[in-house]
Amino acid sequence: MANVNNLADKLSELKIKSDAPLTAGTSRVPSKIQSVSASSSRVPPSSVPKGLGTKTSSSTLKDASKSAGTSGATSTTRPEATKTDSASSAPRAPQVNVADIGAYDGGFENELQSGRGSEVHGEAAEDLALDSSTSRTALYPTREWRLSSFEMGRPLGKGKFGRVYMVRTKTEPRYIVALKCLYKSEIVESGVEKQVRREIEIQQNLRHPNILRMYGYFHDSKRIFIMLEFAAKGELYKQLVKKGRFSERRSSRYVAQMADALQYLHSKHVIHRDIKPENLLIGISGELKIGDFGWSVHAPSNRRTTLCGTLDYLPPEMVEHKPHTAAVDLWALGVLCYEFLSGCPPFEELSGARATHRRIARVEYTIPDHVSPEAADLIEKLLQYTPTARLSLDKVLRHPWIVKYEERSKGSSGV
């Protein structure tokens, strides 16, 4: 795999591959590679990817697992990660002595017996031979993992390419994580093998409390398995749909957490490109977590041309087929803030995609009367047609609407 070796030599700050030609522009449809939701326990340094490990009481984990949905989102019972890249910040999974992971339904075996999936060959086989114990692009190599390393638990959800289960390591101290399975042949049939590889290579090296942790990954002849944090409180989008819209306090705290996470990603030259409620998860303490990196790209030059993401969140430069920069995430943050407060995206047009594109290009939207002037000010400063005119993430974090609720939230956990 010469291309992988060359990649390892080229990447310095964050060892990940750059963009590949992709198609895009779906409306409110989750990215092709769906995230998993799981409240995780951690894996010991000797028996798991280096750095898995924070303690969580069994009762807390049980309560969290009951509240998590089955849709495959991922948040966790893990310790707050720090924004460093030192070896001490390598992945850690929550540690518990006793916890109910539920009953396994035999899904993996049943799918193989039914004939699902097949072996892949050639360049695709090399691209999808992913193992965190031998990866040249992983900042934190892990121990060797196999499916037999885990005690299988209840299903957490299904995705386009496979299933997600709550699992526990068989070795002491028996950490709990979410295990996502992807079928190689289905990835190849969809033509997204390079996208899947890039997503894994990006997420494996990220360390931030508002970014879902990837603890490791391995593969067999037909499948790829990814070990993820367990998102204890499930998918944010489901909560938004259930409530209709969020309060200003809750919205402000989520926007602040998103801004902090995006600031970290941009410092690593990573552009997310698909910020939306469906790609966000909620952790055990109510903290927001970015859980899907399917359209993300490592872009040191900060200029890309691929049209990608979700229709309602596309910025004017993408709609008009112009090169884009990390400023696309600033636009998406403005759209996200609007949707938190109103329950729907600002440029949504039921008459079709062309009408939505037209509204986006004209920056044509109306802020509901119930939204406060401070929140409206932040939205307006993010939803600017000119990318360079959008409010910087640093200024977002210092905006009066953010500071106002940050001060009120001091001393309280989560949102």
Contacts of residue 54, defined as CB under 8 A and 6 or more positions apart, other chains included, come to: 42, 78, 79, 92, 93, 94, 95
Three-class secondary structure of residue 165 per DSSP: strand
Residue 131 annotated as catalytic: no
Q: Which residues are annotated as a binding site for ATP?
A: 160, 180, 229-231, 278-279, 292
Token look-up 């193989």 returns 112
Phi and psi torsions of 122, nearest 5°: 70, -145
CA angle 7–33–66, rounded 5-degree value = 125
Marked catalytic residue, from 19, 127, 260, 274: 274
Q: CB–CB of 138/132 below 8 Å?
A: yes
CA angle 407–409–415, rounded 5-degree value = 145
Q: Which residues are annotated as a binding site?
A: 160, 180, 229-231, 278-279, 292
For residues 234 and 69, give the distance between their C-alpha atoms in angstroms, rounded to a whole number: 5
Other C-beta atoms closer than 10 Å to the C-beta of 25 total 15
For residues 214 and 323, give the distance between their C-alpha atoms in angstroms, rounded to a whole number: 30
Q: In terms of Cα–Cα distance, which of 151, 168, 203, 172 is closest to 31?
A: 203
Q: CB–CB of 76/233 below 8 Å?
A: no
- Measured between its terminal Cα atoms, the distance across the chain in Å is 46
Task: Count how many Cα atoms sit within 13 Å of the Cα of residue 378 in the half-sphere of its side chain.
Answer: 31
Residues in the chain, overall count: 415
Other C-beta atoms closer than 10 Å to the C-beta of 243 total 11
CA angle 228–147–31, rounded 5-degree value = 40
- Helices 248-267 and 373-382 sit at what angle, rounded to 10 degrees? 30
For residues 340 and 268, give the distance between their C-alpha atoms in angstroms, rounded to a whole number: 27
Q: CB–CB of 41/95 below 8 Å?
A: yes
Positions annotated as catalytic residues are 274
